[in-house]
Amino acid sequence: MPDDFLNLGAGSPFGLFGRGRPAHKTVLVAGGAGFVGSHLIDRLLANGHRVICLDNLSTGRLANIAAHAANERFTLIRQDVCDPIQIAGAVDEIFNLACPASPPKYQKDPVHTFRTSVIGAMNLLELARAKGARIFQASTSEVYGDPEVSLQSENYRGNVNTFGPRACYDEGKRAAETLFHDYHHQHGVEIRIARIFNTYGPRMCPDDGRVVSNFVVQALSGRDMTIHGDGSQTRSFCYVDDLVEGILRLMASAVSEPVNLGNPGEFTMAELAAIVREKTGTTARLVHRPLPTDDPRQRRPDISRARKALGWAPLVALSEGLDRTIAHFAAELGRPLPSRTEKVA
């Protein structure tokens, strides 16, 4: 990676059109070297925008954004979002994806995770206030905790333990939503909030620790596939391309209330393991481990608000998305691609 990849300039080169609005926007993506953030940057650059990626690379990877190193419309600022943020020139939109979503990674330094969610959000909100920018918050389905209702709609207030190993993330995201609400109502900042449900796809880290990457990496490596609990707990899996489309539609909308973004298709962990086993052709054993503390028993989004307000619903079926994800991990791990899995570009 060349040293000049860390280009710190931030002025916008684009002209104006229509009613004084920029023909192309200058967009800041905090956490842009991460799994979801890098896919979002791909779309923003493809749409002609100038993109500033702010990432401390604690969990994000340069490999995720390396394709844009020579793009004059792309800038990387290597910085922790908890530190004061100074950007020269105009910023039209800000996307806050700056917090690890992997339980093993966010639990490694829970105090910093909470600071990232709260202090980081405040720093970006202050920047949005100063620049007159619209700002997006990547919130999470974890704000619902271990839900007592299904489906989970945006009106459900959750069942969250404030005193446990997941609280640094769950409560940090809840506090960030409060900050967004208050900056909107007190300072007039334009906000957008997505409550993101389980997302998967290429560029997940092999050691991400979430169930899709765990199962796929274990299967491809011939290691035991670990199921926590009895495997009856459920998740709803949204392919990353569908999520990015929802994020962009939400940012372009007039919706300032939280919006669920996820795939309402619901699968047990045992069902997911069986699908991955079949697709990879693995002979790996299934072994059971204790269920982690506060691990939700069920997760399934009500996406009625997204359908109505954004005209959005996920399009990629789990089978198709897993084929693409398995192909990605096979290439990254240097493993032969399973013959039953289609190769993707």
Domains: count for the chain: 1
Domain membership of residue 38 (yes or no) is yes
* Average pLDDT over every residue of 191-211: 95
Domain membership of residue 224 (yes or no) is no
CATH number at residue 256: 3.40.50.720
* Among candidate residues 302, 213, 201, 212, the one with its CA nearest the CA of residue 258: 302
Domain membership of residue 245 (yes or no) is yes
Residue 238, SS3 per DSSP: strand
Domain membership of residue 41 (yes or no) is yes
Res. 11: pLDDT tops 90: no
* Average pLDDT over every residue of 26-36: 98
Domain membership of residue 53 (yes or no) is yes
Distance CA 273, CA 214 (A): 10
Instruction: Kindly report, residue by residue over 277-336, the tens digit of the pLDDT.
Output: 999 999 999 999 998 887 888 899 999 999 999 999 999 999 999 999 999 999 999 988
Range of the domain at 28: 3-199+239-263+295-315
Is the preceding peptide bond at 151 cis, omega within 30 degrees of 0?
A: yes
* Average pLDDT over every residue of 27-51: 98
Domain membership of residue 271 (yes or no) is no
Domain membership of residue 174 (yes or no) is yes
* pLDDT computed for residue 35 by the predictor: 97
Reported as half-sphere exposure (CB side, CA atoms, 13 A), residue 219 has a value of 27
Helical residues (DSSP H) of the chain, grouped into ranges: 35-46, 103-106, 110-131, 167-187, 211-221, 240-252, 269-280, 304-310, 318-333
Domain membership of residue 231 (yes or no) is no
Task: Report the catalytic residues.
Answer: 169
Tokens of 328: 């990605």
- DSSP one-letter string for 101-123: --HHHHTTSHHHHHHHHHHHHHH
